[in-house]
């Protein structure tokens, strides 16, 4: 396995490209057409190198982001897709918030009529293979879900780690890769429930993906291996084939009723805090 950083190298690389293209004054003795020709030559070759680098990067790039020690890691590797104020980077790590809905929340037929707004954070990098380890803790509020998943960059593929916060001594693994030819989505078919000693404590959850299998681990111990040949259902393969991003989030599972039942909800906001918090301390990507 390798560990390291890559975005700073990429940034330096792009700065070098800009210097080569725009500083034509470095060649005062050359005819402008020669400068343009040289610039075009450099541009073609550098773009080709960049394209090659991007293809390689899509498979796996090693990194380690420790939010509590280096808050700048967040801006280097991640971007929020939820509103400002739904997260913050603190000494504890990346804090993700779920806020109580505005107005009165009414429960009916096993679901709440209003949902809280929670944080969703996406990585700025993609990968198609490698091991991603998320060190995080979750609240123990029934009806809240804390998730760390790999999600398709241009597809609906998902490989999930889900903490159902109303079940503090378990966590769930899941694979969801819909096939457009299959009219019936295979929800819950490739899921499992694993044990953990209190999700409110800090634990390391890992997803390790290769072309032949997916492995989930807890604190360095393998708890589930799913081979590719066991991902076929009704004649359709449900093994991921697209590049994926890391997505982190906390969300309200209080509706519809089926989701609320799965999430041990709905949330009782008369007892829950107005702001519920999950914390991600670090994320590591390892490559074979």
What is the average per-residue pLDDT within 106-112? Answer: 98
pLDDT at 186 (0 to 100): 66
What is the average per-residue pLDDT within 113-130? Answer: 96
Mean pLDDT estimate for the chain: 82
Q: Which of 20-24, 121-125, 141-145 has the lowest mean pLDDT?
A: 20-24
Where residue 83 falls among pLDDT bands split at 50, 70, 90? confident
Domain assignments of the chain as residue spans, ordered by start: 7-59, 63-286
pLDDT at 256 (0 to 100): 97
Q: What is the pLDDT of residues 166-182, one digit of tens each?
A: 999 999 999 998 877 76
CATH architecture entry for 63-286: Sandwich (2.60)
Q: What is the pLDDT of residues 197-243, one digit of tens each?
A: 999 999 999 999 999 999 999 999 999 999 999 998 888 888 998 89
Is pLDDT at 35 greater than 90 in this prediction?
A: no
pLDDT at 273 (0 to 100): 98
What is the average per-residue pLDDT within 95-118? Answer: 98
What is the average per-residue pLDDT within 90-118? Answer: 98
Is pLDDT at 161 greater than 80 in this prediction?
A: yes
Is pLDDT at 14 greater than 50 in this prediction?
A: no
Q: Which of 50-54, 149-153, 230-234 has the lowest mean pLDDT?
A: 50-54
pLDDT at 58 (0 to 100): 56
Q: What is the pLDDT of residues 259-288, one digit of tens each?
A: 999 999 999 999 999 999 999 999 999 997
- Using H for helix, E for strand and C for coil, what is the string for the chain? CECCCCHHHHHHHHHHHHHHHHCHHHCCCCCHHHHHHHHHHHHHHHHHHHHHHHHHHHHCCCEEEECCCCCHHHHHHEEECCCCCCEEEECCEEEEEEECCCCCCCEECCEECCCCEECEEEECCCECCEEEEEEEECCCCCCEEEEEEEEECCCCCEEEEEEECCCCCEEEEEEECCCCCCCCCCCCCEEEEEECCCCCCCEEEEEEECCCEEEEEECCEEEEEEEHHHCEECCEECCCCCCEEEEEEEEECCCCHHHHHHCCCCCCCCCCCCEEEEEEEEEEEEEC
């Amino acid at each position: 396995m390798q560990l390291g950083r890559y975005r700073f190298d990429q940034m330096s690389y792009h700065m070098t490209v800009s210097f080569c293209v725009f500083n034509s004054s470095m060649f005062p003795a050359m005819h402008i057409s020669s400068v343009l020709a040289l610039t075009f030559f450099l541009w073609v070759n550098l773009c080709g190198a960049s394209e090659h680098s991007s293809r390689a990067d899509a498979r796996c790039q090693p990194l380690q982001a420790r939010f509590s020690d280096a808050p700048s890691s967040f801006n280097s590797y991640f971007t929020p897709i939820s509103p400002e104020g739904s997260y913050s980077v603190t000494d504890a790590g990346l804090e993700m918030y779920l806020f109580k809905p505005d107005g009165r929340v009414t429960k009916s037929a096993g679901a709440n009529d209003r949902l809280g707004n929670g944080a969703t954070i996406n990585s700025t990098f993609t990968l198609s293979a490698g091991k991603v380890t998320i060190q995080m803790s979750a609240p123990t509020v029934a009806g809240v879900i804390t998730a760390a998943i790999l999600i398709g960059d241009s597809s609906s593929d998902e490989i999930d780690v889900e903490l159902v916060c109303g079940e503090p001594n378990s966590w769930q693994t899941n694979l969801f890769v819909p096939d457009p030819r299959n009219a019936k989505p295979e929800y819950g078919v490739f899921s499992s429930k694993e044990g953990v000693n209190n999700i409110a404590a800090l634990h390391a959850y890992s997803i390790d993906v290769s072309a032949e299998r997916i492995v989930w681990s807890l604190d360095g111990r393998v708890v589930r291996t799913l081979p590719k040949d066991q991902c076929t259902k009704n004649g359709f393969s449900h093994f991921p084939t697209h590049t994926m991003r890391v997505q982190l989030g906390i969300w309200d599972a209080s509706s519809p009723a089926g989701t609320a039942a799965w999430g041990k909800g709905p949330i009782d906001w008369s007892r829950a805090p107005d702001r519920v918090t999950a914390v991600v301390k670090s994320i590591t990507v390892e490559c074979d």
